[in-house]
Amino acid sequence: MGSKKPLKIFTGTATTYLTSKICNSVGVDLGKSSCPVFADGEFEPCYEETIRGSHVFIVQSTFPPSDNLMELLLMIDAAKRASAYKIIAVLPYFGFARQDRKDKPRVSIGAKLVADLLSAAGVDRVITMDLHADQIQGFFNVPVDHLYASSLFIPFIKKMGLRDVVIASPDVGGTKRANTYAKMLGTDMVICHKSRAKANVIGDMTLIGDVRDKDVIIVDDLIDTAGTITTAAGLMIKEGANSVRAFAAHGLLSEPAYERIENSALQEVYFTDSIPPKRESSKIKYISVAGAFGEAIMRVYKNESISSLYFK
């Protein structure tokens, strides 16, 4: 049974473009809110309509992370103080997710801290997509609905008409994801093994598996500076691949990502629109996740199962 309490969908400033499409997909008007910024850079989000007793869904990707995360926390706090019935944070992209463990001494676990901050602010539920590591769901003490871009990418890949596809993971950590794609597409998988000297700097890379005369699809959760993905593409072409394309849920595309992609062996790179494009590129294309998030929002609001949306 659905809820009789009002449904309200609001957007943070980082995700207006996507929230508007989500609202259109479910036939709900975008909620009225504002976020004045003081001279010192401090901001004060404000709801400009009543939300008392409402299911409030706040859509905000936390990229770049600092200001957008803080704005989201303030919006959650404001909704709680305005007597919202339920507060659901919708994070198409969850920032700090790469900090999911202590991989060296004296570092923080940023993903756990962000989960704690969202809970402390008053969130009742989180909806997100393609976390960097699935176990981040366990960092929360509220329910987390974890969607996967594969539910959009796999049908798209099937329609591309490629002759002899092989799925590739750009690193050992993405093997599970690549294996899921390979199983769903009924094809083989290869793995790139890399050594990383420091953050965003790739050392040596070796290929495990055969890509000769294959149309390679590299799958990943995100592409930041594109060092890994372009190095992998070059290696696969060197090993005899017919073509190389990449699919990733989140396109962070920090510099020099655009230049690397344009000058690489990659034929095309596909992202969802979890993060707004910074500029155009002849090789970069986007597939919208507005429908998937809209469906998840409506099922949560109506107390319906969303397990069918967990397609990996």
Which structure tokens are listed for 312?
């990996």
Q: How far is CA 139 from the centre of its chain?
A: 17
CA 197, 200, 206: angle at the middle one, nearest 5? Answer: 60
The residues near 223 (Cβ < 8 Å, ≥ 6 apart) are: 229, 246, 248, 250, 251, 252, 253, 257, 269, 271
Q: Rounded distance, CA 9 to CA 108, Å?
A: 33
210 CB neighbour count, 10 Å cutoff? 13
CB under 8 Å to 135, separation ≥6 — which residues?
100
User: On the CB side of 88, how many CA atoms lie within 13 Å of its CA?
Assistant: 23
H helices of the chain, in order, are 16-26, 65-81, 110-121, 150-158, 175-185, 227-238, 257-262, 290-301
Grouping H, G, I as helix, E, B as strand and the rest as coil, residue 76 is helix
Question: What residues are annotated to the active site?
Answer: 194
